[in-house]
């Protein structure tokens, strides 16, 4: 069964709006685990506009499920993840001021850099995942870089799904099959939702994990967090 990792950046954004500790990020993360999520994802950015460095240090010893830290592999980011040793680090090519991820790596063009980062993660005992567009050539390059997994950028799928779901999912099916041939695990994330996740999970083979934050937290405003997680989990079974 595909694992659900919940990105809690938006919980931190809400907390930071008042400069206090409500909602309590750690308590919410533990509730998310208790409600059935199999992982927690955070994306600490240099400006700490949502997840703070201190959050990462607090979460790591308390969580019971997989901890996935996303980010651009700057020196500060790498120092943090090597210290914390999460289950997985997802490498994204975001600029420091990016609002959210908007494209995957050109792995071949960044091969030397990414290979060195992946080697560092492996030496620290951390699973590596490279965030890429659903292009077989990028999958092959990620395997060449030594990554353990790829995370397929799914916003193009989400954008195209309402008008042509079969065409929307086709590149992801091909990329996932290539990942399997290349010995890589497959994650996916960005704009997956209750509306489009079920179809994606049914069609894309070998899908290890999806990471979902924004849509899930939006749904929770209406459905409640526990019910929302149950619905996402049901779509992945």
Give the residue from 195, 114, 201 showing the smallest Cα distance to 150.
114
End-to-end CA distance of the chain: 6
The continuous run of DSSP H or E covering 3 comes out as strand 3-7
Q: What is d(CA 210, CA 188) in angstroms, rounded to the nearest whole number?
A: 5
Residues in contact with 7: Cβ distance below 8 Å, sequence separation at least 6, in sequence order: 41, 42, 43, 70, 189, 211, 212, 213, 214, 216
Record the tokens describing residue 215, joined without a space.
Answer: 């849509």
Residues in contact with 21: Cβ distance below 8 Å, sequence separation at least 6, in sequence order: 15
- Alpha helix (H) residue ranges in the chain: 9-16, 25-34, 53-62, 75-84, 111-123, 136-145, 155-160, 165-181, 197-203, 214-223, 225-236
For residue 70, indicate whether it is catalytic.
yes
For residue 66, indicate whether it is catalytic.
no
Residue recorded with tokens 């809690």: 8
| Catalytic site residue from 43, 66, 151, 209 | 43
Beta-bridged to residue 207, according to DSSP, are: 186
Q: Find the angle CA(21)-CA(25)-CA(28) to the nearest 5 degrees.
A: 125
For residue 64, indicate whether it is catalytic.
no
| Catalytic site residue from 33, 50, 66, 70 | 70
Residues taking part in catalysis: 43, 70, 190
């Amino acid at each position: 069964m595909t694992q659900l990792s919940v990105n809690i950046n938006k919980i931190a954004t809400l907390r930071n709006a008042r400069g206090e500790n409500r909602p309590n990020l750690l308590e919410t993360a533990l509730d998310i685990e208790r409600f059935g999520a199999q992982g927690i994802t955070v994306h600490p950015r240099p400006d700490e506009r949502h997840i703070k460095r201190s959050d990462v240090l607090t979460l790591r010893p308390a969580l019971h499920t997989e901890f996935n830290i996303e980010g651009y592999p700057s020196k500060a980011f790498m120092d943090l993840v090597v210290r914390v040793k999460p289950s997985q680090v997802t490498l994204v090519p975001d600029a420091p001021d990016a609002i959210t991820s908007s494209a995957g790596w050109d792995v071949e063009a960044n091969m030397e850099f990414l290979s060195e980062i992946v080697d560092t993660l492996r030496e620290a005992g951390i699973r590596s995942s490279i965030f890429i567009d659903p292009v077989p050539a990028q999958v092959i390059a990620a395997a060449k870089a030594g990554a353990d997994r790829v995370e397929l950028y799914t916003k193009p799928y989400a954008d195209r799904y309402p008008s042509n779901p079969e065409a929307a999912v086709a590149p992801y099916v091909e990329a996932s099959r290539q990942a399997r041939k290349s010995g890589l695990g497959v994650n996916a994330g960005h704009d997956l939702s209750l509306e489009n996740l079920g179809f994606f999970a049914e069609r894309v083979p070998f899908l290890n994990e999806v990471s979902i934050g924004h849509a899930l937290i939006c749904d929770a405003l209406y459905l409640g967090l526990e019910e929302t997680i149950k619905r996402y989990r049901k779509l992945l079974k």
